[in-house]
Structure 1
Amino acid sequence: MRKSLAVVAGLATTGLLLTGCGSSGGDNGSTDTDSGASGDKVEVFTWWASGSEKVGLDALVSVFDEQHPDIEFINAAVAGGAGSNAKAALASRLEANDPPDSFQAHAGAELTDYIEAGQLQDLSGFFNDEGLTEVFPESLIERLTVDGKIYSVPSNIHRANVTWVNTDVLESAGIDATKAPASVDAWIADLKKLKDAGVESPLALGTEWTQMQLFETLLIAELGAEGYSGLWDGSTGWDDAGVTTAIDQYGQLLEYVNSDFAGLDWDAATQVLIDGAAGYNVMGDWAEAAFVQAGWTYGQEYTTWPSVGTEGIFDFLADSFTLPVGAPHEDGANAWLKTVSSADGQKAFNQAKGSIPARTDADPADYGDYQKTALQSWAEDTIVSSLAHGAAAKISWSTDISSAIGKFGSDKNADALQSALVDAATKALG
């Protein structure tokens, strides 16, 4: 779902890969902005170009085609996990005053740069007209609101602090797969047990953003919901002893990961677990679709826990869609946002993607066993915002953190990592 966030507000990268997600009207990487009725087409920009993400987009577009048969859907997907490539391509288009009609982003702090640059339209009126303030939970509305305005429409809710477990691998090593270890130290002991039992890579890991996600779960476990949330407003210092402990634990975990982790995107890292070469993978719940596609049954071949030490906390992110300033087909964009926020659109999309609807009127019976656990946790748990997925920190800050964590993966210098994290916070918070 994500790749290295080596892309900041300036957002420049190389090797952009433009692809389409097969659906109606999908010219690969189209930037169609020709004249015509404002509502006869809509160009939607995402990074959903493969795997469960593509399946989810296709399902959502199918509902859009049913609800708005007279509007052509133009697919402008840019491949590359985490949207790093997409954000770079999008920045170029916005700078050239060539916006798509709607683009995917993560709800929360990731939108800060776009808002401050005056590149997004206020959607508060849309929320009122569509009754979304009544069907989206108050906790979500609060996270979508910036200075009294709402700038994006969420298509889903994802949970980042999920540990996926290959039950056969654990049970073969004499480890109880049905419950999480009592502490991170206990989990490290189980990883050693797997390694001693001949499991090549007890913990499957991928590229930089998956490393950052693993690290944030350790921060949550060590600092708790309040302490972790304080990292983003300065009430918790990055020189805190809890951060030091999380760094030490993260270094220990890296001793049990696959050696090729730096080159694997999330789906390849998840496949390491499915293939039986790992016992665990810390990944957001977009991974659910991979297990379903493998023909596995929840509670049998695989299971999940909230990442060790984070029971009762929901590490939140949401994919959402915007209405850019200057969208050439604004009526089409509004039609797209209506589908994204509709009960039918959210049901189709989330059934395919493994996430849960943002709407509170969803019927749990429509979703799989894992998703039922996520629906319950979203309703009951303490919510925190994900770092790795744009909810906690603006792009420039998370990029600095990602770079520091990526460097630590090579040099294992804990003091240098913590110093870099302190510097990044000072730069971001002023």
Structure 2
Amino acid sequence: MRAQPLVAVAFAAALTLAGCSSAAPTASQSPSSAASAPAGGAGGDVGVFTWWADGSEKVGLEALEKLFKEKYPNDTFVNLAVAGGAGSNAKAKLAADLQNGNPPDSFQGHAGAELQDYIRADQIEPVNDVITTLGGASVFPQNLLDLLTVQGNIYSVPSNIHRANVVWANPEVLKKAGASAEPADIDAWLADMQKLKDAGVATPLSVGGTWTQLQLFETVLIADLGVDGYTQLFTAQGDWGSDGVKKAVAHYAKLLSYANTASDGDDWPGATDAVINGKAAYNVMGDWAVAQFTLKNKKDGVDYTYFPVPGTKGVFDFLADSFTLPKNAKNPGGSKDWLSLIGSPEGQKAFNLAKGSIPARTDVPSDDFPAYQKTAMASFKSDKIAPSIAHGAAVSQAWNSDMSTAISKFYRSKDQATLVTDLVAAAKKNAV
């Protein structure tokens, strides 16, 4: 019997959602001197490492930098952003800096299991006291805190929330084919794709490279297993060879039969543009896609529509950018100033308005946010929360890499049995 992964207790707690017994950790649980350094204008340089170097992410970071200077005038923000590779270039440099004992004062990571690698390497400190000071479970959903908790500690402060299980659709293309506005489940969605195919739509579903395919697959897993069965996959009781997983693999294979041919390196904007241009009817993409529609001057509800992946209504497949307190940071007090800012109501509003995501806090008014973000904020408060595989909330970086390899191989071979075998092997290798 394999050992439980570090986050297994978090996933088990998440199954009971809000009201469960695992309360947010308290400041007294933070063990180190760095973690107990006070926030409040420590002064000095505060080096913040991200991959937010372009587009709406850069605009969001600039909004935070401006607010940081206003709130902590004694601190000097140092932008350590590294561009390129959808974060892969930044992660490579960060790994080298941490290995060489030269950590930034804070660095960006995906909240959840992706941080296991840094925790196991003893490279980041708990930030329980920061979360508690920011309001803990009174402002951050308890089920989100459960998913962020590793062996009783929280190791990052979420700056935003994205939703991964969103279908973006071209209403004109759907109307011409007589497809429904929102299919009830995967089978109904596949029936609509056949209608589209029969109506002459060459590409009912657009996909990009491997990570976009992994994201699509995780949403099918949620649809077929339900949120509880899905989250159990990441615990010692998880069975990646189950009939439920095999059903999801079969559905996934059928969905790909209605999709375009993509190269491994194809990024998400092209797949979203296919919907915008009417070449495709659907694209499953995180809600950063709304910025692409806005960029092309498309109107919500007129030129595009959106709904949860069929079968996942009432589930919020979440990912979150978050920031850490590295061990042996040169300015831990400045680090805590930064963490306090990005977790504050004003910080979350400024950043998310610019980036297109939603606040992790539930006490930020939705009045100033656009239509899609209003719906996402309402869903985040009421839906069950599931952690994203593709974006680091559910699995470690190593596990993600092995699953990505399996998905890439399947895209070429379409061998369902081999994909199930590869998924079982990835879990056995990494869930320790």
| TM-score of Structure 1 vs Structure 2, range by shorter chain | 0.7 to 0.9
1:12-31 to 2 correspondences below 5 Å? none
267-276 vs 239-248, greater mean Cα deviation: 267-276
Q: Which residue of 2 aligns with 1:303?
A: 305
Q: Is the 8 A contact 1:39 1:330 kept in 2?
A: no
Shift of 1:370: 1.1
Question: 1:254-313: CA deviations, max 9, x gaps?
Answer: 222222343311223222222222111101111122222222222111111110111111
2:195 counterpart of 1:190:
no
Q: What secondary structure is seen at the aligned counterpart in 2 of 1:305?
A: strand
CA distance in 2, matches of 1:391, 1:181: 27
Q: Which residue of 1 aligns with 2:93?
A: 89
Q: What secondary structure is seen at the aligned counterpart in 2 of 1:232?
A: coil
Q: Which residue of 1 aligns with 2:129?
A: 125
293-302 vs 415-424, greater mean Cα deviation: 293-302
Question: 1:93-127: CA deviations, max 9, x gaps?
Answer: 11111111111111111111111111001211222
CA change 1:59–1:200 in 2 (3 A) is farther
Shift of 1:153: 0.6
CA change 1:242–1:82 in 2 (3 A) is farther
Q: What amino acid maps onto 1:328 in structure 2? A: K
CA distance in 1, matches of 2:86, 2:222: 21
Q: What amino acid maps onto 1:232 in structure 2? A: F
Match of 1:268 among 267, 270, 279: 270
User: What is the total number of aligned residue pairs between the two structures?
Assistant: 392
Q: Which residue of 2 aligns with 1:135?
A: 139
CA distance in 1, matches of 2:66, 2:258: 42
Q: Is the 8 A contact 1:49 1:79 kept in 2?
A: yes
CA distance in 2, matches of 1:189, 1:299: 23
2:382 counterpart of 1:383:
no
1:24-103 to 2 correspondences below 5 Å? 39-80=43-84, 82-103=86-107
1:126-275 to 2 correspondences below 5 Å? 126-176=130-180, 179-275=181-277
Q: Is the 8 A contact 2:49 2:106 kept in 1?
A: yes
Shift of 1:216: 0.5
Shift of 1:407: 0.9
Q: Is the 8 A contact 2:139 2:363 kept in 1?
A: yes
Shift of 1:85: 2.8
2:318 counterpart of 1:313:
no
Q: What secondary structure is seen at the aligned counterpart in 1 of 2:124?
A: coil
Q: What secondary structure is seen at the aligned counterpart in 2 of 1:41?
A: strand
Q: Which residue of 1 aligns with 2:425?
A: 423
Shift of 1:40: 2.3
Question: 1:347-388: CA deviations, max 9, x gaps?
Answer: 011112222111121112121111121112111111111111
Q: Which residue of 2 aligns with 1:3?
A: none
CA distance in 2, matches of 1:173, 1:79: 41
Q: What amino acid maps onto 1:43 in structure 2? A: G
TM-score, reference length from structure 2: 0.86
CA change 1:193–1:58 in 2 (3 A) is farther
Q: Which residue of 1 aligns with 2:403?
A: 401
CA change 1:342–1:403 in 2 (3 A) is same
Question: 1:139-184: CA deviations, max 9, x gaps?
Answer: 22222222222210100111111111111222232323xx321221
Q: Is the 8 A contact 1:288 1:353 kept in 2?
A: no
CA change 1:148–1:394 in 2 (3 A) is same
Question: 1:379-406: CA deviations, max 9, x gaps?
Answer: 1111111111111111111211111001
CA distance in 2, matches of 1:71, 1:268: 40
Shift of 1:133: 4.4
Shift of 1:81: 5.4
Shift of 1:252: 1.6
CA distance in 1, matches of 2:202, 2:53: 31
Percent identity between matched residues is 54
CA distance in 1, matches of 2:330, 2:202: 52
CA distance in 2, matches of 1:252, 1:258: 13
308-317 vs 330-339, greater mean Cα deviation: 330-339
CA distance in 2, matches of 1:134, 1:226: 24
Which ranges in structure 2 are unaligned for 5 or more consecutive residues? 1-40
199-208 vs 75-84, greater mean Cα deviation: 75-84
Q: Is the 8 A contact 1:38 1:328 kept in 2?
A: no
CA distance in 1, matches of 2:93, 2:53: 14
160-169 vs 325-334, greater mean Cα deviation: 325-334
Over aligned residue pairs, what C-alpha RMSD do you find?
1.9
CA distance in 2, matches of 1:166, 1:62: 37
CA distance in 1, matches of 2:68, 2:411: 43
Q: Is the 8 A contact 2:209 2:262 kept in 1?
A: no
Q: Which residue of 1 aligns with 2:360?
A: 358
Q: What secondary structure is seen at the aligned counterpart in 2 of 1:78?
A: coil
CA distance in 2, matches of 1:268, 1:78: 23
Match of 2:412 among 402, 406, 410: 410
CA distance in 2, matches of 1:234, 1:82: 31
Shift of 1:338: 1.8
Q: What secondary structure is seen at the aligned counterpart in 1 of 2:52?
A: coil
CA distance in 2, matches of 1:294, 1:68: 37
Q: Is the 8 A contact 1:199 1:278 kept in 2?
A: yes
Q: What amino acid maps onto 2:306 in structure 1? A: T
